[in-house]
Amino acid sequence: MTIFVSLRRGGQQLLLSVEPIFLVDRQYVAIATVTIMDNGKPRPAVFFDRDGTICEEVGYLSSPDQLVLIEGAAEGIRDLNSAGILVVITTNQSGVARGYFPEDVVEAVHERMRKLLSAQGARVDAIYYCPHHPEGIVGALRIDCQCRKPKPGMIHRAAAELPVDLASSYVVGDKLSDIEFGQSAGLKAVLVRTGYGREEEKKLTQDVSRKPDYVADDVYQATQWILTDLKKRGVVRF
């Protein structure tokens, strides 16, 4: 498990990530990576969809016990953490408006997701969700809002609350609506083949308007492409 330690030096915030490696002579060594952080300076962010992207798609996820992380998701997020890139979850949760489950269930699911990620040394910086739907049965939530994807409301809210550099940020999701979500805010977008991704990829032959910048097998592969792309663009150094 990677250990993260936040330090300060000369007015700079440093993020130290230490990963132990077990050797055949039963001795531990540690590889340490230092990332220079600046909380006031805008940074790249990756906006992840939740269901079918970070965790297994189960339909309307209505219990924390149903949440299972997709293999490699925590490792990919951990790599973004180490590079000083913000990790933000953005998810439509219309099950609230439809009356399938209350908002406290969504919060409980997110708490479990944080714990499962943390157990593998990964961290989420913020989670945003939209509980609305224009055909919902819960009156106050039956609206055509600005936060339901593919509208970019959740990205704009994150940019107002976090030090996000949208020009160097990305969206990752398993639906073409996620691609549209990112592109509507000027972000690069990655489609993953988990969840609904493989079926959505087939639509690209007809739907060229929502063509992603990259198609990855899963979140881990998506994060490695993003890190390489950021390095090519000179945005991050690691």
> Do 27 and 112 sit in the same domain of this protein?
no
**Mean pLDDT computed over every residue of the chain:** 88
CATH of the domain at 55: 3.40.50.1000
> Do 148 and 33 sit in the same domain of this protein?
no
Catalytic annotation, residues: 49, 51
Whether 151 is in a domain gets the answer yes
Select from 44, 15, 12 the least CA-distant residue to 229: 44
Kindly indicate the confidence band of residue 29, based on its pLDDT and cuts at 50, 70 and 90.
very low
> Do 105 and 141 sit in the same domain of this protein?
yes
Whether 5 is in a domain gets the answer yes
The DSSP bridge pattern shows strands 12-22 and 3-9 to be antiparallel
Q: How many domains does the chain have?
A: 2
Whether 173 is in a domain gets the answer yes
> Do 114 and 194 sit in the same domain of this protein?
yes
Q: Which domain holds residue 84?
A: 40-232
Whether 196 is in a domain gets the answer yes
> Do 25 and 78 sit in the same domain of this protein?
no
Whether 237 is in a domain gets the answer no
> Do 81 and 31 sit in the same domain of this protein?
no
Q: Is the pLDDT confidence value at 175 over 80?
A: yes
Burial 110-122, CB ≥16 within 10 A → b, else e: bebbeebbeeebb
Q: Token pair for residue 78?
A: 């951990």
Whether 238 is in a domain gets the answer no
> Do 91 and 20 sit in the same domain of this protein?
no
Whether 132 is in a domain gets the answer yes
Q: Give the separation between CA 155 and CA 88, rounded to whole angstroms.
A: 9
pLDDT digits (tens, 9 = 90+) for 114-160: 999 999 999 999 999 999 999 999 999 999 999 999 999 999 999 99
> Do 146 and 82 sit in the same domain of this protein?
yes
Percent of the chain predicted with pLDDT > 90: 79
pLDDT digits (tens, 9 = 90+) for 90-105: 999 999 999 999 999 9
Burial 43-56, CB ≥16 within 10 A → b, else e: bbbbbbbbbbbbbb
> Do 114 and 209 sit in the same domain of this protein?
yes
> Do 106 and 18 sit in the same domain of this protein?
no
> Do 101 and 216 sit in the same domain of this protein?
yes
At residue 7, the pLDDT reads 52
pLDDT digits (tens, 9 = 90+) for 31-86: 444 444 455 689 999 999 999 999 999 999 999 999 999 999 999 999 999 999 99
Whether 144 is in a domain gets the answer yes
Stretch 183-196: mean pLDDT, rounded? Answer: 98
> Do 70 and 1 sit in the same domain of this protein?
no
Q: Give the separation between CA 98 and CA 159, rounded to whole angstroms.
A: 28
